[in-house]
Every structure is written in structure tokens, then in C-alpha cells.
């Protein structure tokens, strides 16, 4: 007879709450009155995230490797990452609930009469809420998965809703649909790489659990060739998600095509989740053979930083520019993976949080700059924005400075922490390239700032939308966090230091 498997439900509860909210959302979609759905769905999603945050707080000091029969490890770092994902999710949800950016009816052909009718009737695609909840749950699981199967399932659980959400933009729908398809096809391709690598790792260790793979790798048992193939292919799958060069091709198109609030969520939360998994895999599983993979990851980190910064200069579109900047940032955080020590992990956690919040704020501001056809993302049209709305332009400029890593912003503290951690373990070349490409990146950030404040505006067609209360809260809170963490970094640094623990 089988023994019934046992779960530690308290430790799993944050994920279970979000999953339950998603399922309830789907049921609400099926059975409740369409007119009340937006409010109900928002209530369900926000409520679930708040509940999950409370649960995270309650389990903040517990840890376990057997929460779900070895499939999930709950440790300090996991709890921190899950909390970060939830907070980013909550703020992104506030941006997303401004339905303006989403198509009224996704199934209507762009430009068709049906589309016009449903838009004028004010229909709303409220399925975005359950989809967002599924994505959140998948991301939370991705940070704590401790076997390759769960890791893969979690990867798919959070990717699939994102593929869908990327295609639901209200304006420029063909571009948005193309972006979604590109993201889907390339994502599926990278998942295949991940699976291929997982198969090899299973082959050498005879187990899918990270613990067993780790001991097989360090014990020298098995076959080095298989370890290397497995490692490389798994990394391809994961590096795709953080858009490291050369697996970045989807990023600019998807960031540009997706509804801006979804882009904000994707840019912030996906990075946290994917880096959570990457850090766990490299710190827990592959640290014994660091000599073998360090050169590869170093090279990837360097070209990612340099390429992202260099190509961003040529961009004429704000969203594409931020996309390339996010590629560059992926390179910076990869540097922390190379560090392989506690201060590196702590720096990565800090960087992920601050970068996530600033990105959310930056994309939130982009949603406000509009003209008659919708959002304006063409940089040329941003000229003279500083005179129209000093507050909005000023905040955006501040966020860009934070991305560039100018002192007194959270971005500076993050970069400093990461580079010093990498320097400790002797990755000097990477650090040098990191600093150089930060300088390069500062160039194009400052160019945008000059454009906004110094250049003369050529036309007056753009206007600044008055944000709703929800957007105001989201943008305000994230910008404030960037300021506060720049001035008082120890508030968060202490926390990340005490939470930077992975257990096997």
C-alpha cells in the first residue's frame, strides 16, 4: 500500500493562496455578472496578495526542505524573494487595473467592426487578473523549487500567462500580438533547452532533486561531459528568462509590444523569479565545480553588460531603451552569481528589489505620457517634457539616474554591493567591464534627461494623463522606495544580509 504524502501547508500557504485566488478568479469569470467583474477580480487578486504577504511574514523565520516531499525548499532567501515578488505583483496589479491599456476583446480581429463595437461598449477582458495570479504563483514556486521537474513546471506556469498578457495591448494590437507570438516561440524553444539539460543532469545523478545532483557533481561520480552539457543547457533555459545576451533577442520586441503595465510586471518580477532560480542552482548545485562554469558565465555577464549598454544608445523608443537597459542590468546581477559568497547573494537580493521597484516606476510613468493615439514612446516627442510637467519628468529623470547608478540612488548602492562582492572573490575582469559599461549606460540615460529638460519641444501633441488613484499609489510608492533606499540603504541591506541563506 502507498503511504500518503504529507505536506507542510503553512510553509506552502503563500503559493497556495495565490493559486486559489487564480482558480476562484476563473470561476468568477465563468459564473458572475460581467458588469461587476473588474471590481470583483481586483478585490480577489489584491486580497490574495495581501493574505499571502501576511503568511510570508508569519513564516519568515522557518525553513524546511520537505515542505512538499522534497520538491520545494523553503529557506530564508526563498521567503525574501517570494515577498519581493508579491510586493512587485501588488504594485503592478495597481497599474494593470487601469484597464485603458488592455484590449476590449482579444478575439476580435484588429481593426474589425467587432472590435469597434466591443470597445465602444466598454467590454473588458477581466481574465488578466487570474492570469496574473497564475504568473505570480509560478514565479513564487520558481524561486523555491528544488527538483528539476518542479522547476520546469514552475517555469511554464509563470511563462504561459506572460505570453498571453503580452498580446493583449489595446493599441497597436498587431505589434502586440507579434510580440506575444515571438515571446511564446522563443520561450518554448528555451524550455526545450532546459528540459534537455535536465535530462542530462538526471542521467548523471539518477535523481531530479537538486540535493542529489549537487552531491553527484561534487563527489566526482558520473561523467563530467554530461555535467557540462546539462549545466550549459539548463543555463540556456534560465538565461533566456533573464534576457542575457545571446538569448536576449525577444526582449526589446516584447517590452515594446506588450501593454506597458505588463511590461513593467514582466521586467520586474520575472527577473526576481528567474534570478532566484539561477542563484539557487549555481549556489547550491554547481558551486563545487565553479571552476568549470565560471569562465562561461563571466563571458556571458560581460557581453550582456556591454551589449545592453551599447545598443541602448541607438534606441529611439523609450520602451526599447528600457528593454536594453534591463539586458544590461541582467549582466550586472549575473556578476553576483559569479561571486558565490554570502555577500554576493545579499547584494543580488538587494539589487533585484531596488531594480524591480525602479523599473515598475519607470514603466508606470511611461503609461502617463500620451497623445491622441495612446502612449507616446517615441523619444523625439518627449522633448520639452520637463517644462510641461516638472514633477513627472523629474521623477523619471531620477529613476534613470538610479538605473545609471549615480550616488544617492538605490541603483548605486546595489551596483556597489554587487561589484564589491565580486571583487572579493577575485572576478576582477568582470568588475572592470561592469564599471565601464555602467559609465557607458550613464551616457544614454543622461541624454534622455537632457532631452526632457533642455531640448525644445517640437510639437504640443503630447499630454500627460492625470493618473488614477491606483496608478498614483503604485508610481509614488515605487519612486519613493528608490529615493529612500538610496538615502538609507541600510534599511534593506540589513534585511537582505539576514535573509541571504540557501539551504540544501
Partner 1 sequence: MIRTALEVGMTKSPEAILFWVLAPLSVLAAIGMLLVKKAVHSALLLAWVMISLAIFYIAQEALFLGIVQIVVYTGAVMMLFLFILMLVGVDSADSLLENIKYLRPIAVTAAIGIGGLLVSLIGRATISHNAYGLSIANQNGNVQGLAQLLFTKYVWAFEVISALLITAALGAMVLAHSNKVRSKFSQRDLSAARFRGKKLAEAAGLPGPGVYALHNAVDVPARLPDGSAAATSISRVLEARGDVLESKQFELQQSEDESSDK
Binding site residues, partner 1, CB under 8 A = 2-3, 5, 7, 19, 22-23, 26, 29, 34, 68-72, 105-108, 114, 117-118, 121, 123, 125, 127, 130-131, 134, 137-138, 141, 147, 149-150, 153-154, 156-157, 160-161, 163-164, 167-168, 223, 225-226, 229
Cα distance between residue 133 and residue 149, in whole Å? 21
User: Please, which residue, 179 or 305, has the CB nearer to partner 1?
Assistant: 179
Q: Which of 438, 426, 413, 403 lies closest to 497, judged by CA?
A: 413
Shortest reach from residue 210's CB to partner 1, in Å = 13
For 203, the enclosing helix (H) or strand (E) is helix 173-205
Cα distance between residue 323 and residue 485, in whole Å? 23
User: Please, which residue, 222 or 374, has the CB nearer to partner 1?
Assistant: 222
User: Please, which residue, 113 or 456, has the CB nearer to partner 1?
Assistant: 113
Report the SS3 class of residue 147.
Answer: strand
Shortest reach from residue 33's CB to partner 1, in Å = 13
Cα distance between residue 298 and residue 294, in whole Å? 6
User: Please, which residue, 191 or 341, has the CB nearer to partner 1?
Assistant: 191
237 exposed, middle or buried (CB, 10 Å; 0-12, 13-18, 19+)? buried
160 exposed, middle or buried (CB, 10 Å; 0-12, 13-18, 19+)? middle
Q: Which of 2, 5, 71, 342 lies closest to 212, judged by CA?
A: 71
Grid coordinates belonging to 489: 540603504
Shortest reach from residue 35's CB to partner 1, in Å = 12
Cα distance between residue 286 and residue 268, in whole Å? 26
Shortest reach from residue 238's CB to partner 1, in Å = 18
The answer to whether the bond into 62 is cis (omega within 30° of 0) is no
- Cβ pair 108, 119 in contact under 8 A: no
Cα distance between residue 126 and residue 259, in whole Å? 14
Shortest reach from residue 294's CB to partner 1, in Å = 21
DSSP letter for each residue of 54-112 = HHHHHTTT--BS-TBTTSB-B-HHHHHHHHHHHHHHHHHHHHHT-GGGB-S-TTSPTT-
User: Please, which residue, 212 or 371, has the CB nearer to partner 1?
Assistant: 212
User: Please, which residue, 224 or 424, has the CB nearer to partner 1?
Assistant: 224
Shortest reach from residue 255's CB to partner 1, in Å = 20
Shortest reach from residue 297's CB to partner 1, in Å = 20
Shortest reach from residue 138's CB to partner 1, in Å = 7
Shortest reach from residue 341's CB to partner 1, in Å = 31
Q: Which residues of 400-412 are buried (b: 16+ CB within 10 A; e: fewer)?
A: bbbbbbbeebbbb
User: Please, which residue, 292 or 468, has the CB nearer to partner 1?
Assistant: 292
36 exposed, middle or buried (CB, 10 Å; 0-12, 13-18, 19+)? exposed
Using alpha carbons only, give the angle 377, 473, 392 rounded to the nearest 5 degrees.
40
User: Please, which residue, 85 or 357, has the CB nearer to partner 1?
Assistant: 85
- Cβ pair 362, 325 in contact under 8 A: no
Strand pairing partners for 209? 147
Shortest reach from residue 502's CB to partner 1, in Å = 19
User: Please, which residue, 150 or 497, has the CB nearer to partner 1?
Assistant: 150
User: Please, which residue, 44 or 157, has the CB nearer to partner 1?
Assistant: 157
User: Please, which residue, 32 or 439, has the CB nearer to partner 1?
Assistant: 32
Shortest reach from residue 455's CB to partner 1, in Å = 36
Using alpha carbons only, give the angle 280, 285, 287 rounded to the nearest 5 degrees.
95
Shortest reach from residue 9's CB to partner 1, in Å = 12
User: Please, which residue, 105 or 215, has the CB nearer to partner 1?
Assistant: 105
Amino acid at each position: 500500500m502507498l503511504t500518503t504524502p504529507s505536506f507542510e501547508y503553512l510553509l506552502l500557504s503563500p503559493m497556495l493562496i495565490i493559486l486559489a485566488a487564480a482558480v476562484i478568479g476563473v470561476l468568477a469569470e465563468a459564473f458572475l455578472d460581467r458588469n461587476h467583474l473588474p471590481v470583483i477580480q481586483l478585490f480577489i487578486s489584491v486580497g490574495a496578495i495581501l493574505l499571502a504577504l501576511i503568511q510570508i511574514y508569519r513564516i519568515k523565520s522557518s525553513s524546511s526542505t520537505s515542505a512538499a516531499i522534497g520538491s520545494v525548499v523553503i529557506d530564508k532567501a526563498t521567503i525574501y524573494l517570494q515577498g519581493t515578488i508579491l510586493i512587485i505583483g501588488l504594485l503592478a496589479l495597481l497599474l494593470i487595473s487601469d484597464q485603458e491599456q488592455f484590449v476590449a476583446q482579444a478575439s476580435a480581429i484588429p481593426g474589425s467592426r467587432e472590435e469597434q463595437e466591443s470597445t465602444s461598449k466598454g467590454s473588458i477582458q477581466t481574465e488578466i487578473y487570474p492570469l496574473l495570479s497564475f504568473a505570480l504563483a509560478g514565479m513564487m514556486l520558481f524561486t523555491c523549487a528544488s527538483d528539476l521537474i518542479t522547476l520546469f513546471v514552475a517555469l511554464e506556469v509563470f511563462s504561459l500567462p506572460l505570453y498571453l498578457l503580452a498580446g493583449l495591448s489595446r493599441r497597436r494590437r498587431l505589434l502586440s500580438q507579434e510580440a506575444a507570438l515571438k515571446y511564446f516561440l522563443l520561450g518554448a524553444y528555451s524550455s526545450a533547452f532546459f528540459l534537455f539539460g535536465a535530462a542530462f543532469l538526471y542521467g548523471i545523478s539518477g535523481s531530479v532533486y537538486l540535493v542529489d545532483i549537487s552531491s553527484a557533481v561534487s563527489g566526482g561520480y558520473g561523467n563530467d561531459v554530461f555535467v557540462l552539457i546539462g549545466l550549459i543547457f539548463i543555463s540556456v533555459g534560465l538565461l533566456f528568462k533573464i534576457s542575457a545576451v545571446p538569448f536576449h533577442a525577444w526582449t526589446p520586441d516584447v517590452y515594446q509590444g506588450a501593454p506597458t503595465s505588463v511590461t513593467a510586471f514582466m521586467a520586474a518580477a520575472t527577473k526576481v523569479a528567474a534570478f532566484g532560480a539561477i542563484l539557487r542552482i549555481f549556489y547550491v548545485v554547481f558551486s563545487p565545480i565553479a571552476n568549470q562554469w565560471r569562465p562561461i558565465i563571466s563571458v556571458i555577464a560581460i557581453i550582456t553588460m556591454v551589449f545592453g549598454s551599447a545598443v541602448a544608445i541607438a534606441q529611439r523608443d523609450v520602451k526599447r531603451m528600457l528593454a536594453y537597459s534591463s539586458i544590461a542590468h541582467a549582466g550586472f546581477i549575473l556578476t553576483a552569481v559569479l561571486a558565490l559568497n554570502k555577500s554576493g547573494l545579499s547584494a543580488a537580493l538587494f539589487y533585484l528589489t531596488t531594480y524591480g521597484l525602479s523599473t515598475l516606476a519607470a514603466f508606470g510613468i511611461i503609461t502617463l505620457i500620451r497623445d491622441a493615439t495612446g502612449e507616446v514612446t517615441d523619444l523625439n516627442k518627449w522633448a520639452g517634457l520637463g517644462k510641461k510637467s516638472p514633477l513627472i519628468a523629474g521623477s523619471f529623470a531620477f529613476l534613470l539616474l538610479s538605473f545609471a547608478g549615480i550616488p544617492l540612488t538605490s541603483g548605486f548602492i546595489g551596483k556597489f554591493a554587487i561589484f564589491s562582492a565580486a571583487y572579493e572573490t577575485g572576478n576582477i575582469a568582470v568588475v572592470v567591464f561592469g564599471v565601464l559599461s555602467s559609465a557607458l549606460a550613464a551616457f544614454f540615460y543622461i541624454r534622455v534627461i537632457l532631452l526632457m529638460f533642455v531640448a525644445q519641444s517640437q510639437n504640443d501633441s503630447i499630454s500627460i494623463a492625470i493618473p488614477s488613484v491606483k496608478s498614483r499609489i503604485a508610481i509614488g510608492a515605487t519612486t519613493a522606495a528608490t529615493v529612500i533606499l538610496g538615502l538609507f540603504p541600510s534599511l534593506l541591506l540589513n534585511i537582505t544580509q539576514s535573509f541571504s541563506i540557501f539551504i540544501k
